[in-house]
Amino acid sequence: MKIVAFTGAGISRESGIKTFRDNDGLWNNFSIEEVATKDAWTKNPQKVLDFYNQRRSEIDTVSPNDAHKYLKKLEEKHDVTIITQNIDDLHERVGSSKILHLHGEMRKMRSDTYEDLIYDYNEDIKMGDKCEQGFQLRPHVVWFGELPYNVEESYQALSDCDLLLIIGTSLNITYTLDMLSSIDEERTEVIYIDPNPDDFMDGITHVTYIKENATRGVKELVEELLQ
């Protein structure tokens, strides 16, 4: 089968990565306007860099969980594409072969002027760090008001898939529902794994709900699919 796993913050939370929207999430300590907009970058780039440098360093302290590992294991018998809203590298670390990041990647930085000048990095980005064209480097992440990455490729994967797994996301971003509605309703089975799933997909197609956390729900489903 062609399978798409659409993953959100819930799968990373189980590895210990703080999410933005939880009760104890990052937005309780930082406002969107301070660290996650182009305006914030213009007004106080050092504060923005400090915020994302800290997020990147936190990724070094966590490991992929069973949900990441079992999605990789699913490739033993199926063609699997990961579409993720997460900016961590946990899917990469378990070796998933096809990963589309919608909101960027914390292990990369890019020119703040030339969007196609993207570089890997594992140290802090500093003021004065420049791209090859001489412009300041910024985190390779999507800020509020910016367009997501890999949209065309994600639409294509969704329209071609036989099975869509939605894992650990509340679907409360408008473009997300538009993207997921591109599936072929007659061809594509949809399974939504989340302890508290929203019902937004019910208006689009039939959905099977697995009301479990990502690690347990993905493990049980993948074991069944590999039988």
Query: How far are the Cα atoms of 42, 95, 159, 170 from residue 30, in angstroms, in the given order?
Result: 17, 33, 37, 21
Which parts of 44-133 fold into alpha helices (H)?
45-59, 66-73, 90-94
DSSP state at residue 204: T
- Strands 118-120 and 163-167: what pairing? unpaired
The catalytic position among 91, 101, 103, 140 is: 103
- Annotated catalytic residue 206: no
DSSP helix/strand/coil, 49: helix
Residue with tokens 């210990």: 16
Q: How many whole angstroms separate alpha carbon 182 and alpha carbon 196?
A: 24
Helix 66-73 / helix 214-226 crossing angle, nearest 10 deg: 20
Residues annotated as catalytic are 103
